[in-house]
């Protein structure tokens, strides 16, 4: 598959809507980019769908459109014409398409203002919105989707979610099951534990699938910041400088770790 107009549009969508994943994908081999850009472009589309309208029904319809498009890919039938969907149809098999359907369905939490029922629901949301992208990417790149990516995806999704907590609260959401400082610290430590487990099990990941891990390069420093000072979540001060981010990404790209 060549880098055609549809793929270029996917890359531009990721560049505008998710610059960190864009940078991570540009650090991957060119052939891997052809798979990852459509997946991350879909993520941009579905993650913003609940926020572009005040009408829950309209947001649900937008998400259903993506669910239906992925079903067309999974079933192997006619696939609707759309720059992201068409690009996805070239790289996804049925299993990868089903993984991405989980990412779409999970965004229904973003449509409504109900808090998570419990910690298990919170964990499931993070796995479905973050780990599913890694699993779909690995499946498309290598034909395998090892479970090690579930731990890695959870840790990465948690880090980004904690970074977004202040904005979610400004939007009237209750993002955390337990917002007390010690509880936030414990959640971050759990994320670090799963990240360390993923690192210990990294040999399960086929070499051809390793470009998917580049998008998780910020997880460790962000989670370490929360463990060291969980008040940074509420304060909105999580993050690292652009220079440090670039250095970490270069290290990850060079070592595939």
* Whole-Å CA distances, 112 to 48, 93, 100, 106, 108: 13, 31, 20, 11, 7
User: pLDDT class for 53, splitting at 50, 70, 90?
Assistant: confident
Q: Which of 77-81, 97-101, 213-217, 241-245 has the lowest mean pLDDT?
A: 241-245
Going by C-alpha positions, the residue among 254, 217, 156 that lies closest to residue 24 is: 217
Whose tokens are 């209750």? That residue is 174
- Give how far Cα 171 sits from Cα of 164, 165, 168, 237, Å: 11, 10, 5, 18
Cα gap 107→90, rounded to integer Å: 24
- Residue 79 DSSP label: -
Residue range 53-57: average pLDDT?
90
Please provide the size of the chain in residues: 257
CB of 34 closer than 8 Å to CB of 221: no
Q: Is the pLDDT of residue 180 over 80?
A: yes
Say if pTM beats, i.e. exceeds, 0.85: yes
Crossing angle (nearest 10°) for helices 19-26 and 30-48: 170
Task: Calculate mean pLDDT across residues 188-199.
Answer: 97
pLDDT at 1 over 60: no
- Rounded Cα distance, 166 and 233, in Å: 7
User: Average pLDDT, stretch 81-106?
Assistant: 97
Asked if the 5-255 domain carries CATH number 1.10.600.10, the reply is yes
């Amino acid at each position: 598959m060549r880098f055609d107009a549809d793929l270029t549009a996917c890359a531009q969508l990721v560049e505008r809507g998710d610059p960190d994943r864009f940078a991570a994908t540009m650090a991957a081999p060119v052939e891997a980019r052809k798979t990852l850009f459509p997946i991350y472009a879909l993520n941009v589309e579905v993650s913003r769908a609940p926020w572009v309208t005040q009408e829950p029904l309209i947001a649900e319809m937008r998400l259903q459109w993506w669910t239906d498009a992925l079903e067309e890919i999974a079933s192997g039938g006619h696939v609707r014409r759309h720059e992201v969907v068409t690009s996805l149809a070239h790289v996804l098999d049925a299993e990868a398409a089903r993984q991405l359907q989980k990412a779409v369905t999970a965004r229904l939490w973003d449509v409504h203002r109900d808090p998570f029922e419990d910690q298990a629901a919170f964990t499931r949301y993070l796995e479905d919105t973050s780990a599913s992208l890694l699993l779909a990417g690995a499946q498309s790149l290598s034909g395998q989707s090892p479970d090690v990516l579930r731990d890695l995806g959870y840790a990465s999704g948690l880090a980004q979610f904690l970074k977004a907590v202040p904005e979610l609260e400004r939007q009237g959401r209750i993002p955390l099951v337990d917002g007390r400082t010690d509880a936030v610290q414990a959640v971050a430590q759990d994320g670090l534990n799963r990240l360390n487990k993923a690192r210990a099990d990294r040999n399960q990941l086929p070499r051809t699938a390793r470009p998917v891990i580049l998008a998780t390069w910020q997880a460790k420093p962000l989670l370490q910041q929360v463990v060291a000072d969980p008040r940074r979540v509420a304060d909105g001060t999580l993050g690292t400088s652009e220079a440090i981010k670039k250095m970490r990404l270069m290290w990850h790209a060079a070592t595939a770790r």
